[in-house]
């Protein structure tokens, strides 16, 4: 007899999965905030680039840098009765990278019991770690940070460990920011980042 190892985000033996939040983005995006940059470029609830169904959130690449495009989730409470918790979201990327680092970039941040206080998630990226550092010299406001910059990358299921936040109320922020490009250096094809099928699950003892 042998027991297989638990896959990322799955519940171990002796626990039962519970869905704490799930949204396929097809009909209800209440309490999501589709933020934009200083040039009025912003996240869209779009009929393009869906992973499932017909709708997804997309942030288009831009040539001239404003501020980051931020997508904010509703708050979700992770009960203290959970033993583990995880975030799953499907995402597609067309972002500029160079020499093992990033020119454009996308990051995930989380707030804990404070909707206005976000910190980048740098640990617990179970299935899709960041691609590299956003380089200096490109006027990207994310420079110096670890980021995703698939160029291009098809839809992948990103699973993030939320176990450290059990017993707390969290909110998520998906941030995409571009490098500044002149008229001859256009950005990659849009969308730069597409997000779909967002789910937070927990594992409760049997």
pLDDT 10s digit of each residue in the chain, 206 long? 866 778 889 998 899 999 999 999 999 999 999 998 767 789 999 999 999 999 999 999 988 776 899 999 999 999 999 999 999 999 999 999 988 899 999 999 999 998 789 999 999 999 999 999 999 988 999 999 999 999 899 999 999 999 999 999 999 999 999 998 875 567 788 899 999 999 999 999 99
Closest CA to 201 of 159, 139, 147: 159
Q: Domain 15-205 adopts which CATH fold?
A: Jelly Rolls (2.60.120)
Residues 6 or more apart in contact with residue 142 via CB below 8 angstroms:
68, 102, 105, 107, 134, 175, 177
| Domain spans, the chain | 15-205
State the Cα–Cα distance between residues 85 and 159, nearest whole angstrom. 10
pTM above 0.85, yes or no: yes
Q: Give the residue carrying structure tokens 């704490």.
A: 20
Strand-pair category, 146-147 with 44-46: unpaired
State the Cα–Cα distance between residues 81 and 132, nearest whole angstrom. 36
State the Cα–Cα distance between residues 67 and 62, nearest whole angstrom. 11
User: Within a 10 A sphere around the Cβ of 3, how many other Cβ atoms?
Assistant: 7
């Amino acid at each position: 007899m042998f027991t297989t190892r638990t896959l990322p985000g799955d519940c171990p033996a002796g626990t039962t999965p519970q869905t704490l939040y799930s949204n396929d983005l097809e009909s209800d995006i209440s309490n999501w905030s589709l933020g934009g940059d200083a040039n009025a470029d912003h996240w869209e609830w779009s009929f393009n680039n869906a992973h499932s169904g017909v709708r997804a959130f997309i942030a288009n690449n831009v040539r001239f840098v404003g501020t980051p495009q931020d997508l904010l989730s509703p708050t979700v409470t992770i009960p203290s009765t959970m033993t583990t918790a995880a975030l799953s979201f499907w995402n597609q990327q067309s972002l500029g990278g160079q020499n093992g680092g990033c020119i454009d970039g996308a990051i995930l941040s989380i707030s804990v019991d404070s909707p206005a206080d976000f910190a980048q998630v740098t640990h617990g990226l179970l299935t899709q770690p960041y691609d590299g550092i956003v380089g200096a010299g490109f006027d990207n406001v994310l420079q110096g940070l670890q980021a995703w910059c698939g160029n291009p990358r098809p839809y992948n299921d990103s699973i993030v460990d939320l176990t450290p936040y059990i017993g707390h109320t969290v909110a998520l922020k998906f941030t995409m920011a571009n490098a500044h490009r002149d008229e001859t250096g256009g950005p990659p094809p849009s969308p730069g980042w597409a997000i779909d099928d967002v789910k937070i699950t927990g594992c409760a003892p049997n």
